[in-house]
Amino acid sequence: MRLGPGRNSLERLAIATARGNAEVYLHGAHVTAWQPSGADPVIWVSGDSQFHPDKPIRGGVPICFPWFAAHATDASAPMHGFARLRGWTLASAEDRNGEVQVRFLLTDDDTSRRSSWPHRFQAEYRVTFGDRLGMALDVANTGDAPLTFEAVLHTYFAVGNIREVGVTGLAATEYLDKVDGFTRKREGDAPIRFTGETDRIYLDTESTCTIHDPELRRRIEVVKTGSLSTVVWNPWIDKARAMPDFGDDEWPSMLCIETANVRDAAVRLEPASHHTMTAVIGVGAL
């Protein structure tokens, strides 16, 4: 392991072991790479991502917290919350026979309490890099009043060609279709296929999702706990061109499967209580 400057001098922990390579930035506690030994890269990052201390990193695994998408009442608040814009504290990093376990901390301060979410909290983010990628976001209410938050591990996966990809695990699940004005729909029994912009919040689901990628001859499995929402997203042509930190022609090579608690699944915490949401990602042959 090596802690030092990454892109644009942002502090980064680079990991190289017999089990594979990975990297995570302290800016946002943002995982930007994971590649098990003998495998193609699993995590996707845009070549146009700005890696600027005042902006989120495009790709990897952004942590959306304590709200998802736009703030419900404050248009000036940052999209997807403040956690992905803050410097997290690297509390520990241990190499256990090639499996690296990293722990980050984020607590409230004057800045967070002024950002339309005036609550006292501690967030602990534990990431395990090895044959699998494990992520656990634990949020504790350290104040004296209840609080409610949304959280998403907004994982960008590298795929061979989005037009050929299928996703299983969400059959017969209701979802909100953002592309169609948040119309409530129900998924069919067939694998999800991609033929245009896709932005869906799947509701009341704890299911494991699997990406089937024939071009890269692999499947990526996302197993989760403590999560009742799953977001599936690909911007397609026009949305990709509209984003300044996303290459115009990059959209065919990525897909987001996001472990989440959003909308009706937002988490309410009483004082002195906590909630943990996890995602474990594995890769196998197709």
**Tens digits of residue pLDDT in 159-192:** 999 999 999 999 999 999 999 999 999 999 999 9
Question: How does residue 9 score in pLDDT terms, banded at 50, 70 and 90?
Answer: very high
**154 is an active site residue:** yes
Q: What is the pLDDT averaged over residues 84-106?
A: 96
Q: How many domains does the chain have?
A: 1
Asked whether the predicted pLDDT for residue 115 surpasses 80, the reply is no
**Tens digits of residue pLDDT in 117-156:** 999 999 999 999 999 999 999 999 999 999 999 999 999 9
Predicted pLDDT of residue 116: 84
Q: Residues of 78-97 as b/e, b for ≥16 C-beta within 10 angstroms?
A: bebbbbbbbebebeebeeee
Question: How does residue 114 score in pLDDT terms, banded at 50, 70 and 90?
Answer: confident
Domain that holds residue 105: 2-285
CATH number (domain holding residue 266): 2.70.98.10
Predicted pLDDT of residue 281: 98
**Tens digits of residue pLDDT in 38-47:** 999 999 999 9
Q: Percentage of the chain with pLDDT > 70?
A: 100
**Tens digits of residue pLDDT in 200-225:** 999 999 999 999 999 999 999 999 99
Pick the catalytic residue: 27, 30, 71, 154? 154
Task: Check: CB of residue 257 under 8 Å from CB of residue 126.
Answer: no
Q: What is the pLDDT averaged over residues 22-50?
A: 97
**197 is an active site residue:** no
Pick the catalytic residue: 124, 150, 250, 258? 258
Q: What is the pLDDT averaged over residues 11-25?
A: 97
Predicted pLDDT of residue 165: 98
